[in-house]
A and B are shown apart, each in its own frame.
Chain A
Amino acid sequence: MKENACSAVFEYNGSDMATRTSTGSNSEGHEQRFLTAFDEYSDALFRHASMRINDRERAVDIVHDTFAKVWGYVRQGHDVENFRPFLYKVLNNLIIDEYRKKKEQSLDALMEGEGVDEGNFDELTESSVESLAATLDGKKAFTVVEKLPEQYKEVIILRFVDGLGPKEISQLIEVSENVISVRLHRGLQMLRQHIETEEATAKTKRTKQ
Chain B
Amino acid sequence: MKRFSEQFHKQAKGIRMSATERAELRDRLETYMEYHPLPSSMRTATTTKSKKEKSIVSQPFVQLRINTTFLKAFVPTMVLFVVVAVPVLAERTAPGDVLYPVKVRFNEEVRSQLSSSPYEEIEWEARRIERRIAEARLLASEGKLTEEVEAEVAAAVKEQSAKTKEKIALLKSTDADEGAIAEITFASTLSVQNEVLEADQVEQGDVDGSVLATVVAEESEAADAQQAGAQPSYEKLLARLETESTNAQELFDSVKDGAAKEEVKDVERRLADVARKVSAAQALKADADAPVEAVETDTTAAVSAATTSATTSASAEEVVAAVAEIAPEEMTHEAAQLLREALVDVRKLISFMTNIDVRQSVSVDELVPMTLTDDERYNVIQNGLRAAIATQATYEALDDTAAVSEKLLVGIEALSAVIDRVETQVEAGELLAAETQLEELLAIRDDVGKLLRQVEVTSSDGEVETPEEDAVSVESATTTTTNVEQATTSASSTVESE
Q: Give A contacts to B, CB under 8 Å.
A: 22-27, 29-31, 34-35, 38-39, 42-43, 46-47, 50-51, 60, 63-64, 67-68, 71-72, 74-75, 77, 129-134, 136-139, 141-143, 145, 157, 160-161, 163
Please name 13 further chain A to chain B contacts, defined as beta carbons within 8 Å, in addition to the given A71-B32, A75-B37, A141-B7, sorted by A numbering: A24-B46, A25-B46, A35-B30, A46-B16, A47-B16, A51-B12, A72-B36, A75-B42, A134-B3, A138-B3, A138-B6, A139-B7, A161-B12
Q: A22-B42, A22-B45 are in contact. Are A131 and B1 (CB under 8 A)?
A: yes
How far is A22 from B48 in the complex, measured between Cα atoms in Å? 14
Residue B311 lies at the interface, judged by CB distance under 8 Å to chain A: no
Asked if B5 and A138 make an inter-chain contact with CB atoms under 8 angstroms apart, the answer reads yes
Asked if B16 and A138 make an inter-chain contact with CB atoms under 8 angstroms apart, the answer reads no
Asked if B42 and A129 make an inter-chain contact with CB atoms under 8 angstroms apart, the answer reads no
Residue B70 lies at the interface, judged by CB distance under 8 Å to chain A: no
Residue B49 lies at the interface, judged by CB distance under 8 Å to chain A: yes
Contacts of A39 in B (CB 8 A): 26
16 contacts between A and B (CB under 8 A): A25-B46, A27-B49, A29-B46, A30-B42, A34-B33, A42-B25, A46-B16, A71-B32, A75-B38, A130-B1, A133-B5, A134-B1, A138-B4, A141-B8, A145-B8, A160-B12
How far is A27 from B53 in the complex, measured between Cα atoms in Å? 13
Residue B386 lies at the interface, judged by CB distance under 8 Å to chain A: no
Contacts of B32 in A (CB 8 A): 64, 67-68, 71
Residue B28 lies at the interface, judged by CB distance under 8 Å to chain A: yes
Q: A42-B17, A42-B22, A43-B17 are in contact. Are A31 and B38 (CB under 8 A)?
A: yes
Residue B55 lies at the interface, judged by CB distance under 8 Å to chain A: no
Within B5-24, the residues touching A (CB, 8 Å) are 5-13, 15-17, 21-22
A-B CB proximity, top 6 nearest: A138-B7, A24-B45, A142-B11, A133-B1, A138-B8, A130-B1
User: How many residue pairs bridge A and B at CB < 8 Å?
Assistant: 119
Residue B96 lies at the interface, judged by CB distance under 8 Å to chain A: no
Contacts of B8 in A (CB 8 A): 138-139, 141-142, 145, 160-161
Contacts of B22 in A (CB 8 A): 42-43
Among the interface residues B4, B7, B13, B45, which one has the most CB atoms of the partner chain A within 10 A? B4
Asked if A46 and B17 make an inter-chain contact with CB atoms under 8 angstroms apart, the answer reads yes
Residue B47 lies at the interface, judged by CB distance under 8 Å to chain A: yes
Residue B39 lies at the interface, judged by CB distance under 8 Å to chain A: yes
Nearest to B34 among chain A residues (CB) is A31
Asked if B26 and A137 make an inter-chain contact with CB atoms under 8 angstroms apart, the answer reads no
Contacts of A133 in B (CB 8 A): 1, 4-5
The 8 Å CB contact of B5, one of A24, A72, A157, A160, is A160
Nearest to A57 among chain B residues (CB) is B21
How far is A24 from B40 in the complex, measured between Cα atoms in Å? 12
Nearest to A133 among chain B residues (CB) is B1
The 8 Å CB contact of A134, one of B4, B15, B33, B47, is B4
How far is A141 from B9 in the complex, measured between Cα atoms in Å? 11
Asked if A64 and B9 make an inter-chain contact with CB atoms under 8 angstroms apart, the answer reads no
Nearest to A29 among chain B residues (CB) is B47
Q: A64-B28, A71-B32, A74-B38 are in contact. Are A51 and B15 (CB under 8 A)?
A: yes
Nearest to A25 among chain B residues (CB) is B46
How far is A68 from B26 in the complex, measured between Cα atoms in Å? 11
Residue B29 lies at the interface, judged by CB distance under 8 Å to chain A: yes
Within B202-256, the residues touching A (CB, 8 Å) are none
Asked if A47 and B15 make an inter-chain contact with CB atoms under 8 angstroms apart, the answer reads yes
Asked if A30 and B46 make an inter-chain contact with CB atoms under 8 angstroms apart, the answer reads yes
In the assembled complex, the CB of B144 is this many whole angstroms from the nearest CB of chain A, namely 61
How far is A102 from B332 in the complex, measured between Cα atoms in Å? 132
How far is A123 from B344 in the complex, measured between Cα atoms in Å? 129
How far is A198 from B339 in the complex, measured between Cα atoms in Å? 132
Asked if A26 and B3 make an inter-chain contact with CB atoms under 8 angstroms apart, the answer reads no
How far is A77 from B12 in the complex, measured between Cα atoms in Å? 36
How far is A133 from B42 in the complex, measured between Cα atoms in Å? 48
Contacts of B47 in A (CB 8 A): 29-31
Nearest to B10 among chain A residues (CB) is A138
Contacts of B46 in A (CB 8 A): 22, 24-27, 29-30
Contacts of B42 in A (CB 8 A): 22, 30, 75, 77
Contacts of B5 in A (CB 8 A): 133, 138, 160
Nearest to A23 among chain B residues (CB) is B45
In the assembled complex, the CB of A153 is this many whole angstroms from the nearest CB of chain B, namely 12
In the assembled complex, the CB of A111 is this many whole angstroms from the nearest CB of chain B, namely 24
Asked if B7 and A142 make an inter-chain contact with CB atoms under 8 angstroms apart, the answer reads yes
Asked if B29 and A50 make an inter-chain contact with CB atoms under 8 angstroms apart, the answer reads no
Contacts of A141 in B (CB 8 A): 4, 7-8
Q: A24-B46, A75-B36, A137-B4 are in contact. Are A60 and B9 (CB under 8 A)?
A: no
Nearest to B29 among chain A residues (CB) is A67
Contacts of B11 in A (CB 8 A): 138-139, 142-143
Q: A38-B29, A42-B17, A63-B25 are in contact. Are A75 and B39 (CB under 8 A)?
A: yes
Contacts of A29 in B (CB 8 A): 46-50
The 8 Å CB contact of A31, one of B16, B21, B26, B33, is B33
The 8 Å CB contact of A50, one of B15, B48, B50, is B15
How far is A138 from B49 in the complex, measured between Cα atoms in Å? 49
Nearest to A39 among chain B residues (CB) is B26
Asked if B7 and A64 make an inter-chain contact with CB atoms under 8 angstroms apart, the answer reads no
Contacts of A43 in B (CB 8 A): 16-17, 22
In the assembled complex, the CB of B34 is this many whole angstroms from the nearest CB of chain A, namely 10
In the assembled complex, the CB of A56 is this many whole angstroms from the nearest CB of chain B, namely 8
Asked if B38 and A38 make an inter-chain contact with CB atoms under 8 angstroms apart, the answer reads no
In the assembled complex, the CB of B52 is this many whole angstroms from the nearest CB of chain A, namely 11
How far is A193 from B283 in the complex, measured between Cα atoms in Å? 141
In the assembled complex, the CB of A20 is this many whole angstroms from the nearest CB of chain B, namely 13
Contacts of A161 in B (CB 8 A): 8-9, 12
In the assembled complex, the CB of B248 is this many whole angstroms from the nearest CB of chain A, namely 76
How far is A27 from B5 in the complex, measured between Cα atoms in Å? 39
How far is A38 from B33 in the complex, measured between Cα atoms in Å? 12
How far is A139 from B33 in the complex, measured between Cα atoms in Å? 40
How far is A50 from B14 in the complex, measured between Cα atoms in Å? 11
